[in-house]
Amino acid sequence: MDLAAVHAALAGKSYSSVAPLCDDLFLQAASRGAATDGWPYAVHLLAHLYLNDLNSARFLWKSTPQEAKDARPELAAVWRIGQCLWNRDYAGVYAAAQGFEWSPEIADFVAAFLGHHFVVWVGKSGDSDVHTYTSWKSYRKRIFQLLTSAYSTISVADVAHFMGMNEEDATNYAMQNGWSLDAAARMLTVVKPKVKTNQKLDASKLQRLTECVFHLEH
């Protein structure tokens, strides 16, 4: 099975292209009846999570052979991230990502998914390298944008929970993005981004925002 295109995308950090590449190659292999024993299920699954395509991620997990699930701890670790995303357990996403020693092949991809200056330790037998990457297509950035849209004020503790940070880091992150802090009340005041006056309200976007706010608060 030729996975050169997938490896090239990973090496070039073209992470948005990995899911469609894997989908096409997997379908080609299936149509030829080729064995998929060596298929990079963990990479394929993470690629869907990177695009926030949870339905495709769930379908891939359900269709993955049980032998692969049982034999590949890294695949199971990626799925734990997916489960947290599905359940909107934002803090759990970070706990799942940081609680596993990722292989060099996928560590960069996990760091890009988290999308902040996240230190990923990789290595074997105690020998580790440190890789730090920043991705603007970040999970953390998406959550912060959601909080900005959903709240006018919010507690430091809640921001820390949703962002998967400690309270000091969450406060610093928010203030760096223009929010203000009431230190006595431990409350943050949200600064809304400027909206173009000619921008039309999309009813479908409003519905999605309403659903997201509901899940954040329940």
Full-model pTM: 0.63
With left for phi above 0 and alpha for psi between -120 and 50, is residue 13 left, alpha or beta?
left
The β-bridge partners of 120 are 131
Residuewise pLDDT in 10s, the chain (218 residues): 689 999 999 999 999 999 999 999 998 887 777 777 889 999 999 999 998 889 999 999 999 999 999 999 999 999 999 999 888 787 788 889 888 999 998 999 998 888 733 333 333 333 333 333 333 345 677 788 888 888 899 999 988 888 777 899 899 999 999 999 999 999 999 998 776 555 555 555 555 555 555 555 55
Where are the chain's structural domains? 1-112, 137-187
Among all chains, which residue has been given the structure tokens 């695009």? 51
Residue 38 is classified by DSSP as T
Residues 133 and 192: their CA atoms lie apart, in Å, by: 27
